[in-house]
Structure 1
């Protein structure tokens, strides 16, 4: 219960901080955070929570990370379902909190509500194939970095920094393509409050990150020897 509660709260923080920066701050040009600020916000949520709950739950905050860690031999498969349920619940709770805050502004319209999309719903109008490749490849590298940074042979205490900066970099690359998912829980949490298209395209943002997570984990097992 402590671990799943930590995952719930951590994922809530990730979605509230990351998507909140997009919905509440980036929407106003005078604030000036733009793509760079939103990218940094996502990285900071993971960085801060990794230090806060990493010793409690491992700070996955992401079904693709949990599945990838299982594929990499670092996570008990019996805990997958409870972790994923807690992550999705935390993301949905964050989406609800964010919706309540955002809807307090006169003339509010949910629109995309920081959802992920492809085609006409991609920030840069990228098609489905481009979105699929982007999400698979970037999630694969995310898992590769996570497994390498948390390897017992890596410098101790620096893993949260490497992981947070990796997620920042991922957002800098892929916000124009898909608005960046690499996390099915993050995608689900805001899609429920966005326009109907967000749920219709949600399947890709479950399939691609999970596939990428497994690929990245298997790649690290080859390179890193599968050792902790």
Structure 2
């Protein structure tokens, strides 16, 4: 149960900090944190929780990461569903508190692309560009695959594990810098689900992609690291 609580609180912090920064602070006139600030916020949530509770649960905070680590031989299949449930519940609890805070100012809105930090595709978003379903799928799949490679490499027994949280947090920051203009960045089905549940409509209709693409990418990344990159004990 401690592992599940760690995943709940870790995913809660990721959504509250990452999506919260996007909802409250990104567009504040003159002092808003913008794209760079939101990207850093997501990275910092993972970095801080990796050191806070990563030693308890492994610090997944993301159903796609759990899938990828299972494929990579780092995580038992029997724990997959409980971890995913804890992650989705943690993300949804965070989204609920974000909703209450935002609604306290009468500012909650379901209108507009990316409302309440939801993910999207095939809709004019930032810079008035509309990325197709295929482009969004390829983005989410590719970035999640590399995220898994970074996670597995940074936490490998041959790596310096003391710096794993920093590498993983910075990788997530980079991922957001690349893909916020494309899909508002998911690479995390729990994060996408929590926001879509409150917005509904198109966000829920498009949610399937932000489960399928990240999980597909994580499986690819886990397989690549395990079969092509992972150093064996008998290797020099």
Classify the TM-score, shorter chain. over 0.9
**Distance across 2 between alignment mates of 1:27 and 1:141:** 29
- Residue of structure 1 in register with 2:14 after alignment: 14
1:92 aligned onto 2:128? no
**Distance across 2 between alignment mates of 1:57 and 1:224:** 24
Q: Is the 8 A contact 1:149 1:162 kept in 2?
A: yes
Q: Is the 8 A contact 1:88 1:189 kept in 2?
A: yes
- Residue of structure 1 in register with 2:118 after alignment: 115
Displacement, 1:29? Answer: 2.6
Partner residue of 1:225 out of 226, 230, 234: 230
- Residue of structure 2 in register with 1:59 after alignment: 59
Q: Which stretches in structure 1 are left out of the alignment for 5+ residues? A: none
Q: Is the 8 A contact 1:21 1:41 kept in 2?
A: yes
- Residue of structure 2 in register with 1:172 after alignment: 177
Q: Which stretches in structure 2 are left out of the alignment for 5+ residues? A: none
Alignment RMSD: 1.4
**Distance across 2 between alignment mates of 1:12 and 1:172:** 22
**CA displacement 1:22-70 (0-9 Å, x = unmatched):** 0011132333200000000000000000000011000100000000000
* Partner SS state of residue 113, structure 1: helix
**Distance across 2 between alignment mates of 1:60 and 1:221:** 18
- Residue of structure 1 in register with 2:50 after alignment: 50
Q: How many residues align?
A: 228
**CA displacement 1:89-109 (0-9 Å, x = unmatched):** 001001100000111113542
- Residue of structure 1 in register with 2:218 after alignment: 213
Q: Is the 8 A contact 1:220 1:226 kept in 2?
A: no
TM-score (norm 2): 0.93
**Distance across 2 between alignment mates of 1:190 and 1:154:** 35
TM-score (norm 1): 0.96
